[in-house]
Amino acid sequence: MIFLIRKTNSTMKISQFKNPTERRLFLEKELQIRLEAINRAHVDNEKDIHCENFIGETTLPLGVVGPLRIQNLELRMKDYYVPLATTEGALVASVNRGCKALTLSGGVKVNTHKIGVTRGPVFYTGSLQKNQEFYEWLNKNKRQISQAAESTSSHLKFKKYDIKSVADYVFVRFYFDTENAMGMNMATIATQAIVDLIEKETGIECMSVAGNFDTDKKPAWLNFLNNRGFKTWAEGIIPEKTVQGILKTTAEKIYEVWLAKCMIGSAMSGSLGFNAHFANVVAALFAATGQDLAHVVEGSLGVTRAKIIKKGNLYISVYMPSLMVGTIGGGTKLKTKQEALSIIGAKNSEEFAEVLTGTVLAGEISLLASLAQGTLAKVHKKLGR
How far apart, in whole angstroms, are the C-alpha atoms of residue 303 and residue 232?
A: 11
Q: Cα–Cα distance between 348 and 267 in angstroms, integer?
A: 36
Q: Which of 57, 292, 351, 364 is catalytic?
A: 292
Provide the CB-side half-sphere exposure for 237 (13 A, CA).
7
Q: Going by C-beta distance under 8 Å and a sequence separation of 6 or more, which residues neighbour residue 18?
A: none
Query: Which entry of 30, 133, 150, 380 is annotated as an active-site residue?
Result: 380
Can 292 be counted among the known catalytic residues? yes
**70 vs 122: CA distance, rounded Å:** 41
- CA dist 327 and 70 (Å) reads 19
Asked whether 223 and 319 are in contact (CB, 8 A), the reply is no
State the maximum Cα–Cα separation within the chain, in Å, rounded to a whole number.
73
Please give the DSSP secondary-structure letter assigned to residue 204: P
Among 367, 355, 353, 357, residue whose Cα is nearest residue 277: 367
Asked about 48 being catalytic, the answer comes back as no
Report the 10 Å Cβ neighbour count for 159.
16
Query: What is the Cα–Cα distance from 104 to 307, expressed in whole angstroms?
Result: 19
Catalytic residue among 28, 30, 88, 256: 88
Please give the DSSP secondary-structure letter assigned to residue 154: T
Per the annotation, the verdict on 214 as an active-site residue is no
Write the DSSP string, 16-76: GSSSHHHHHHHHHHHHT---HHHHHT--S-GGG---TT--------EEEEEEEEEEETT--
Residues paired with residue 183 on neighbouring β-strands, in sequence order:
none
Q: C-alpha dihedral over 380, 274, 285, 384, to 10 degrees?
A: -10
Do the bridges between strand 205-208 and strand 122-124 make them parallel or antiparallel, or are there none, so unpaired?
Answer: antiparallel
265 SS3 class: helix
Give me the active site residues, please.
Answer: 88, 292, 380
